[in-house]
Structure 1
Amino acid sequence: MALQETKYAVRFGNLAAQVHLTDKRKPLLLMLHGWQDNSGSFEPLVPSLEDHFDLVLPDWPGHGLSDHKGADSFYPFFDYVDDLHQLILQLGERDIYLVGHSLGALVASCWCAAFPERAKGLIMIEALGPMSELEDKVVERLRRGIDSRENMKGLRSLPSFEAALKLRRGINKVSFEDLTPLVSRGIQQVGTEWQWRHDAKLKTESVYRMSTEHAEHLVRGIRCPVLAIIGEDGYPELRGPLAKKRAEWFDNLTVESVAGTHHCHLQSQAETTALIKDFVTKLHLTQ
């Protein structure tokens, strides 16, 4: 069954989403993509998941086919948590399991902490809770973030769709075939050129990042079981001593490694979908 296009009205405008919704009371996977990606990041996984679960694959604000926020919004991190909550309220009283990649996992982990009574299970791909940094970086972070807004550049134009695909291939190390849904949803033709759809303000730096202590309190607030899927060649920070310390913050965490870089879910699709199916199916049978 093909994914269907839909929109969810939230405070700032519309969130675009690809959905596979049935009348059956299946578990629902809410699949949340990463920064400057879009819901096409998960499309290659859908054939292996759609017989087992209902699926909702939204584009974050300013990404993919979703509306951009106003000129005064630079997409602060915690606003994503609010956007997610507005979407979840519209999905009704379903058993929702959150699957997040990178930014999507960071946001999902914070939502699970804030609303533990609703969170049934969390799957993080290339993440271990929200990003944080040492408190003594706060002044430098503030200045760099404001400077990045002052020096913000427009989106890059490309001569062809193939050029965009090659550019993303060079960054993400994913096959052209598996990158095509993501690039197709993230680019548009304007005259004779191609331009990215995402809001240029997304490329500015954050003016604030939470402290390690704040991140720990959020992670310790997560009550549902958590599965972390980490790429063997993904972000080094997710495989070192600090990652082991972070893992201890979780009440109920399972960590699995799969081959691949930061987009390991596209490089190890069979392993990733098998882990998702096993984790969610077992949870659903016991809840």
Structure 2
Amino acid sequence: MNPRYLPLQILKKLSMKKYNQTAILQRKFLHSGQIPFLDELSQDYEEVEIPVPWGHVSGKWYGPKHIRPIVGLHGWQDNSGTFDTLAPLLPQNVAFLSIDLPGHGLSSRLPDGMWYDSAVNLQVLHLLMKEYNWDKISIIGHSMSSIASFIFSALFPEKVEMVVGLDALKPHIRSNDKVVETMRNRMKNFIIADERNRDKSEPPSYTYEDLVEKLYVGTFHSIDKDKCKHILARNIKKSLKYPDQYFFARDSRLKSYNYTGFWPELNLELAKRINVPYLFIKCTGSTYFESKEYFDEALEVMKKNPKFEFYEAEGSHHVHLNEPEKISAIINPFIEKYHTAKEDYSKKREGCFTFL
């Protein structure tokens, strides 16, 4: 089993508590050895935990450990497994850190009573940069995280080296009545989910085959069935009640995710402020999630940035997982052009990396 690294300051805390190394390794997947097809997934990465105020953010670190990585950010209710097939196709001299956002995968959930919203993901980026002493960050974001990357780049362009956005360009525009109804329903559902979390009761469980079907149908057939294992590996746990069944372990409050309200003029103002190298790929088999006119307006503003590139890729919303070679062929030249993290930045912060 590959070792997992922690920043030195956390190791010091753990050693004071006589932290058990066996427990560290066993937590690699929370349920290692219990999930079907787990052994079939690539192990060419190190499991990582990054401390945050509410617990930790988990991730997979691919490639060199002595240089600043490109950070991979997944979509809503997915996890770091979304980049399992793409990561090996990135340039070999590039480090890549694919993380589980709060409440997803193996990362800590937000405390009881807290509502997930888009600002949390922006906070995670700041916390990553602070923990590893990065002056800038490079991002590959899919869907929800592509939107987060758009916002982060507009608010903090001085902190961004480059961005690759997949399929969702910007916050989506919805009618007023739709926004009101969505807010009402999500608040009601959040209260129910939060109460269930505090009950500590086991969620409904299913056979693994049923979970594959649920994920396949739930994504509107966006994830090919044979690729569902990459998401399920970090999204499910074995039932304690039914030996041959599993349940979704992600935080059910995520279904009530609060998308901050945006309007067309605000999106265009954000787009105007993005002056960093920015590559956006739209999947031809995916919807725009809004009236296309709003997408087109923002795209025209983005094109005024001389470092902006736009491509279309044939495939579904998860084409980067299903057919990663279609995406790597587009993004690798962009990465080689703009990602300049060659420096051993760990020297800036002595003892930043420790492997167990």
Name the TM-score, length of structure 2 as normaliser: 0.73
- Deviates further, 139-148 or 199-208: 139-148
Name the residue aligned to 1:77: 118
Q: In percent, how many aligned pairs have the same letter?
A: 24
Assess if the C-alpha contact under 8 Å between 1:36 and 1:198 holds in 2: yes
- Tell me which residue corresponds to 1:188: 237
What amino acid sits opposite 2:162 in the alignment? G
State the match for 1:165 in structure 2: 212
1:24 CA drift (Å): 5.3
Deviation digits for residues 180-221 of structure 1, max 9, x if unmatched?
A: 121111111022231111111111253752222222222222
- The answer to whether the aligner puts 1:41 opposite 2:82 as a matched pair is yes
Give the Å deviation of 1:99. Answer: 0.4
Question: Do 2:116 and 2:256's aligned partners in 1 also have CA atoms closer than 8 Å?
Answer: no
Instruction: Provide the rounded CA distance (Å) in 1 between the counterparts of 2:180 and 2:230.
Output: 40
Query: Which AA in structure 2 matches 1:188?
Result: K
**Take 2:175 and 2:210, find their aligned partners in 1: how far apart are those partners?**
39
Are residue 9 (structure 1) and residue 56 (structure 2) matched?
no
Moved more, 151-160 or 260-269: 151-160
Counterpart of 2:233, as a letter, is S
Residue pair 1:230, 1:238 contacting (<8 A) in 2 also:
no
Deviations along 1:208-263, one digit per CA (max 9) or x if unpaired, are 52222222222222220211111111123479332211102324232211111111
Aligned residue for 2:233, secondary structure, equals helix
1:89 is displaced (CA, Å) by 2.2
CA contact under 8 A between 2:172 and 2:290: conserved in structure 1? no
What CA distance in whole angstroms lies between the structure 2 residues aligned with 1:78 and 1:205? 11
Q: Is the 8 A contact 1:174 1:266 kept in 2?
A: yes
Q: What CA distance in whole angstroms lies between the structure 1 residues aligned with 2:259 and 2:287?
A: 22
Which of structures 1 and 2 has the larger relative contact order (alpha carbons within 8 angstroms, sep 6+)? 2
1:268 is aligned to 2:323 = yes
Distance 1:284 1:70 in 2: 36
Quick check: 1:218 aligned with 2:234? no
Looking at structure 2, the residues matched to 173 and 207 of structure 1 have their Cα atoms a distance apart, in angstroms, of 22
- Are the structure 2 counterparts of residues 273 and 239 from structure 1 closer, same or farther at C-alpha, using a change threshold of 3 Å? farther
Superposition pairs for residues 28-107 of structure 1, below 5 Å? 28-49=69-90, 51-93=92-134, 96-107=137-148
Instruction: Give ranges in structure 1 of 5+ residues lacking alignment.
Output: none
Q: Take 1:133 and 1:81, find their aligned partners in 2: how far apart are those partners?
A: 22
Cα contact 1:29–1:97 (8 A) shared by 2: yes
Q: 2:314 maps to which residue?
A: 259
Unaligned runs of 5+ in 2: 1-42, 197-201, 343-356
Question: Secondary structure, in 3 states, of the residue corresponding to 2:250?
Answer: coil
Task: Decide whether the 8 Å contact of 1:134 with 1:211 is kept in 2.
Answer: no
SS in 2 for 1:248: helix
Distance 1:95 1:177 in 2: 36
Paired residues for 1:130-169 under 5 Å: 130-134=171-175, 139-152=180-193, 157-169=204-216
The 8 Å contact of residues 33 and 60 in structure 1, kept in 2 or not, is answered as yes
Aligned partners of 2:71 and 2:97 also within 8 Å: yes
Please tell me the residue identity of whatever aligns with 2:208.
F
Equivalent position SS for 2:301: coil
Contact 1:234 1:260 in 2 (8 A): yes
The one-letter code sitting in structure 2 at the alignment partner of 1:283 is Y
Is the CA contact (8 Å cut-off) linking 2:190 and 2:256 kept in structure 1?
yes
Residue type matched to 2:84 in 1?
E
Name the CA distance, whole Å, in 2 between partners of 1:114 and 1:236.
24
**1:177 matched to 2:177:** no
**Cα distance change, pair 277–207 in 1 and its aligned pair in 2 (3 A):** closer
- Cα–Cα, structure 1 residues 2 and 240, in superposed 2: closer, same or farther, change >3 Å? same
Report which stretch shifted further, 32-41 or 172-181.
172-181
Structure 2 residue matching 1:44: 3-state secondary structure: coil
Indicate the larger mover: 78-87 or 31-40.
78-87
The verdict on how the C-alpha distance between 1:134 and 1:220 changes in structure 2, with shifts beyond 3 A counting, is farther
